[in-house]
Amino acid sequence: MIPAAFEYHRPKDMAGVLAVLTQYGDDARVMAGGHSLIPMMKLRMADVPHLIDLQSVEGLGGISVADGVVRLGAMVTQHDIIDSAELASAAPILRETSLQIADPQVRYMGTIGGNVANGDPGNDMPGLMQCLDATFHLVGPDGERTVAARDFYESAYMTAREDDEVLTAVSFAVPQGGYGYVKQKRKIGDYATAAAAVQLVKENGVCTAASIAMTNLSDTPVHSVAAGDALVGTSVDDAAIKAAVQAMLGDIDPAQDNRGPVEFKRHAASVILRRTIERAWSRA
């Protein structure tokens, strides 16, 4: 559990970060909270000759809610999210999710940027960001661009982000209606056996919009359009929930691991999604 030697860079601004990234290419990598990257380096599964610490880079923090848009700087920690009164009222699903990530020590360090950029299907934020139809803000040597969270994930640890790009923020429209993030895990600090993010709108007893995403049930987060569609126009009764669950099962592709075989995960995903929908509907 001892990493290979590396050079440590701690630039003060984004230009400094990009300069190191440009100079060393594949050999350089940014670090946010380090709680995914450092374990990988210690296991020698990640070889990072040039480590760029983002902690001192200006302008990567801050939570703002303005004009119906929530914006989180990449270096906002999970603890910051839990702590923010503004977020608790504008997008309570973020707090609910963050409280189910790891433990307080990890949450003091782990960032939203690191969590979504990591590309680990076990991370909880990517599914949530897909549910919320978030936008990821990237900057690279060729300037800034945005990528939709729903288009960002390609396969495990492979994302639309180029190696020389840095994620600076995530943003999304203030979510409407009822919400829920339910996660089954074996213990504190564990990644999900199955988790679901649901955000839905109820008008006159009818669901008018629904967004559903699943965590750790495929090699990327799974935004199940069909599952959301199955709820829209219904009163979210048992039949509608069954249809949504059925649709979701068509979109996930879980792998066997120590949490259990595929069959169990599919069952757990069904149960968790049902509970999440019920919770969201009850809050809508």
Ligand X SMILES: Cc1cc2nc3c(=O)[nH]c(=O)nc-3n(C[C@H](O)[C@H](O)[C@H](O)COP(=O)(O)OP(=O)(O)OC[C@H]3O[C@@H](n4cnc5c(N)ncnc54)[C@H](O)[C@@H]3O)c2cc1C
Residues at the site binding ligand X, with contacts judged by CB under 6 A: 29-37, 54, 74, 101-102, 106, 109-111, 113-115, 117-118, 123-125, 166-167, 189, 191
* Binding of residue 242 to other proteins (CB under 8 A): no
Residue 4 or 206: which CB sits closer to other proteins?
A: 4
Contact partner at residue 44 from other proteins, ligand X, none, CB < 5 to 8 Å by partner kind: other proteins
67: which 2 tokens? 């004009």
**Residue from 189, 206, 239, 246 in contact with other proteins (CB under 8 A):** 189
Question: Least distance (Å) from ligand X to the CB of residue 87?
Answer: 17
Question: Least distance (Å) from other proteins to the CB of residue 120?
Answer: 12
* Binding of residue 79 to other proteins (CB under 8 A): no
Cα–Cα separations (whole angstroms), residue 269 to 82, 143, 180, 185, 191: 25, 40, 14, 12, 14
Q: Is 23 left (phi over 0), alpha (psi -120 to 50) or beta?
A: alpha
* Binding of residue 223 to other proteins (CB under 8 A): no
Question: Least distance (Å) from other proteins to the CB of residue 119?
Answer: 18
Per CB under 8 A, which of residues 91..120 are in contact with other proteins? Answer: 103
Count of residues for the chain?
Answer: 284
In whole angstroms, what is the distance from residue 28 CA to residue 164 CA?
A: 9
Is residue 254 within 8 Å of 199, Cβ to Cβ? no
Question: Least distance (Å) from ligand X to the CB of residue 210?
Answer: 23
Q: Is 155 left (phi over 0), alpha (psi -120 to 50) or beta?
A: beta
**Residue from 27, 120, 133, 190 in contact with other proteins (CB under 8 A):** 190
CA angle (166, 169, 172) in 5-degree steps: 140
Using DSSP bridges, classify how beta strands 28-31 and 50-53 pair: parallel, antiparallel or unpaired: parallel
Residues near other proteins (CB under 8 A) are 1-2, 4-5, 44, 103, 184, 186-191, 193, 258-261, 264, 267-268, 271-272
